[in-house]
């Protein structure tokens, strides 16, 4: 019989607020980039908290953390619950870490009750989900799922020239376990929505059926540095002008491909970045997303056509490459049903939905049954220091997570 266990809302909220101090910003957000000293601090905290519950903590070769509570049947692969601890440069208190701490709260509830699950339960923290320091995103869960190699991850370089591998060694979180040599029975991930739909519709829980496809590109536009006062407009090779027109074109491409298409230039670096020098080089990034691969293909074709149309008349050269392609994902129906039932059991309002943002669950779905749970965030705002959700909404998500996991675990013992 599945027990009627209740998570501790206050305890969960206290963990969310206390961990926000690791990299906390003056504006109330969090700056905890992957493999920085702040990342090490929150990792150390996580290890201490889970070991205090009697968990065995394993670290794999790309720094993924697994805290295991034994089950009745050690032959069953563990059921994993988790997300990530890293943030954007100006991140909030909830993106990612709610999934880790909601899972930890579920674990603490099981521990306090003495309830023994059939399968072991693991709380997981994946390394470098955000991709804000080391691109691409979801890097270490990608290694776990066989999408990337350890060597590829180790060679990722941040904008300061530091490598993922060297920084992982520096903070002491290079583990011995081969990434992916760690079978799982299932994976559940709790997350804030990072969009406005649940709040707009007055709903508490998003039951995720999948994640839309995503493609990232990097572009370097090359012109000629020149003196702003001495170089006539007609003779300039202004890389920033070409980039500005590309930014507008990318926005237009997304608008032209329907309401589900999005396109963003989120990072621009201008060289030499001097007020009296015509910019001779610009580096920028492109992010396209859509639930259908055919539409992403069309958006990509339009973007490359725009480069060829816009830049040559300005006497500019360019280099571009796709650095990440994450196809659309569909989650496991059985796990989706577990989340549905858990939501109904607790009387929460809900809707089924597709995630517009990428998550570690995207890659986990390749190697184990996977699903996600969303709770609202104020104004749909995320990747922002003002990111906010309520204590009640966090508690609702953690409760649904626990009950969904217990339902799935019961099916393993049937």
Distance CA 225, CA 239 (A): 9
What is the H or E stretch that residue 200 is in? helix 197-201
Helices (H), 34-178: 37-52, 97-113, 139-144, 150-154, 164-170
SS3 48: helix
Distance CA 10, CA 5 (A): 15
What is the H or E stretch that residue 247 is in? helix 239-256
Which residues participate in the annotated binding site?
84, 95, 130, 191, 383
Which residues participate in the annotated binding site for Zn(2+)?
84, 95, 130, 191, 383
For 54, counting Cβ atoms within 10 Å of its Cβ (0-12 exposed, 13-18 middle, 19+ buried), the class is exposed
CB 129 within 8 A of CB 138: yes
Residue tagged 């799935």 (tokens): 408
- Report the 10 Å Cβ neighbour count for 172: 12
Helices (H), 257-332: 293-310
CB 19 within 8 A of CB 42: yes
Helices (H), 347-390: 361-364
Contacts of 233 (CB under 8 A, 6+ apart): none
Taking each helix axis from N to C end, the angle separating 391-412 and 333-345, rounded to the nearest 10 degrees, works out to 130
Look at the chain and count its residues: 414
Q: C-alpha dihedral over 49, 51, 53, 59, to 10 degrees?
A: 90
């Amino acid at each position: 019989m599945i027990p009627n266990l209740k998570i501790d809302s206050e305890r969960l909220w206290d963990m969310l607020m206390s961990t926000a101090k690791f990299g906390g910003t003056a504006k109330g957000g969090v700056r905890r980039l992957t493999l920085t000293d702040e990342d090490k601090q929150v990792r150390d905290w996580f290890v201490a908290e889970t070991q205090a519950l009697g968990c065995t903590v394993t670290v794999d070769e790309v720094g993924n953390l697994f805290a295991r509570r034994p089950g009745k049947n050690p032959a069953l692969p563990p059921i994993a619950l988790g997300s990530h601890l890293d943030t954007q440069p100006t991140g909030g208190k909830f993106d990612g870490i709610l999934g880790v701490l909601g899972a930890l709260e579920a674990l603490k509830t099981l521990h306090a009750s003495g309830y023994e699950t059939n399968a072991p339960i693991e709380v997981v923290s994946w390394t470098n989900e955000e991709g804000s320091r080391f691109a691409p995103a979801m890097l270490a869960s990608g290694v776990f799922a066989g999408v990337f190699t350890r060597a590829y991850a180790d060679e990722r370089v941040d904008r300061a020239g530091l490598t993922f591998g060297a920084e992982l060694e520096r903070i002491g979180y290079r583990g011995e376990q081969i990434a992916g040599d760690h079978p799982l029975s299932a994976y559940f991930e709790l997350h804030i929505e990072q969009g406005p739909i649940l709040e707009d519709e007055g709903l508490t829980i998003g039951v995720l059926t999948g994640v839309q496809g995503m493609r990232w590109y990097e572009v370097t536009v090359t012109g000629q540095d020149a003196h702003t006062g001495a170089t006539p407009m007609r003779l300039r090779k202004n890389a920033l002008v070409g980039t500005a027109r590309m930014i507008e074109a990318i926005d237009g491409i997304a608008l032209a491909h329907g309401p589900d298409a999005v396109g963003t230039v989120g990072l621009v670096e201008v060289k030499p970045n001097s007020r009296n020098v015509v910019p001779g080089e610009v580096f920028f990034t492109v992010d396209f997303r859509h639930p259908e691969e055919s539409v992403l293909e069309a958006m990509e074709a339009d973007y490359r056509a725009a480069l060829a149309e816009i830049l040559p008349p300005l006497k500019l050269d360019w280099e571009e490459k796709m650095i990440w392609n994450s196809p659309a994902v569909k989650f496991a129906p059985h796990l989706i049903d577990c989340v549905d039932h858990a939501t109904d059991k607790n009387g929460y309002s809900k809707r089924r939905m597709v995630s517009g943002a990428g998550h570690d669950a995207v890659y986990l779905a390749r190697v184990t049954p996977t699903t996600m749970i969303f709770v609202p965030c104020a104004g749909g705002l995320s990747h922002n220091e003002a990111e906010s959700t309520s204590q009640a909404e966090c508690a609702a998500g953690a409760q649904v997570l626990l009950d969904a996991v217990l339902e799935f675990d019961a099916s393993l013992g049937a």
